[in-house]
Amino acid sequence: MSDLSSLVTEQRNEHSMNLDQLSVEDCLKVINSEDQKVAEAVREALPAITEATVRISQKLKEGGRLFYVGAGTSGRLGYLDASECPPTFKTPPEMVQAIMAGGMAAFGKAKENAEDSESQGAADLKNEALTAKDTVIGIAASGRTPYVAGALKYAGKIGAYTVALSSNRKAEISAYAETAIEVVTGPEVLTGSTRMKAATGHKMVLNMISTAAMAQLGKVQENLMIDVHASNYKLMERAKRIIMDLTGTTYEQAAETLEQAHLKVKHSIVMIEAGISYEKADHYITLASGYAREAVRLAKQDKAG
């Protein structure tokens, strides 16, 4: 493993050398100024992010799973994104998962030494019965976390698609992945505290990958989440608004159709747009591989023919 001092994430930031002597306002201004550099760093990594997202989308279409693997803040970011996929896109819990060094116990209480074992990273993935259909994104700001390296090496041996997400150029974990995403956000305001810019950049990337991949799976129409899981009052109301926006129907009809469609927004849209029953909407959505626009087209085509 490389000397930590050579990593940009461990170097001192010249703009925050007097952090302890600044007023609260000036301290916050420095942090805000540095944070503005994160989006640019992500933009520079767009080619690699695009490559990864295209591959991941195809893997998910073929029934594969997506695993985020990390330690500490990196692991927590994986959990954050994975946990939001079921309510946002109505994905089954197994489709997007997170594996963290030290397990869920480390989510709320740091277990800093859990990241030091390569063999544990491999073992935790092995416990998930990883296959060549799956994808593993290893997340490590330093790019050298042993737990993540072990997971990526194991995934590569299995034939799964591997992605390394780091915050240093020529990161060591990049060598263990088919696609390397290096979001170089520079030295942190608080030296070595990669929960700051590095983590912000990585959260942006994970949000981008999951959102764009789900759009490719037909879970987005225009900029609306047509597979939202209407599991509470707020989400029920959002579901009705989505149906109204896409079909031009009334609130009352949107509510009635949503009930008939067993709270499935996509089915409601197809039912209204094509003028068909829930059962027929389900049939055409299956034929269209989950794409609502295509399901409506097929239904109308059959009606006309």
Longest dimension (CA), the chain: 77
Active site residue 178: no
Alpha-carbon distance 241 to 260, whole Å? 16
77, containing H or E segment = helix 73-89
92 close to 215: Cβ distance less than 8 angstroms: no
Alpha-carbon distance 181 to 143, whole Å? 10
Alpha-carbon distance 260 to 265, whole Å? 10
Of 10, 14, 62, 84, the active-site residue reads: 84
The β-bridge partners of 4 are none
Question: Within its chain, how far is the Cα of 23 from the centroid?
Answer: 37
The pair of structure tokens assigned to 153 is 């090496």
The pair of structure tokens assigned to 20 is 């302890």
Active site residue 273: no
Of 14, 34, 62, 115, the active-site residue reads: 115
Task: Give the E-state strand segments of the chain in sequence order.
Answer: 66-70, 96-100, 135-139, 161-166, 179-182, 220-221, 224-225
156 close to 8: Cβ distance less than 8 angstroms: no
Alpha-carbon distance 107 to 112, whole Å? 11
DSSP string, 193-258: -TTTHHHHHHHHHHHHHHHHHHHHTT-EETTEETT----SHHHHHHHHHHHHHHH---HHHHHHHH
Alpha-carbon distance 131 to 276, whole Å? 39
Coil vs helix vs strand at 181: strand
Residue with structure tokens 């079909």? Answer: 247
Q: What amino acid positions are annotated as catalytic residues?
A: 84, 115
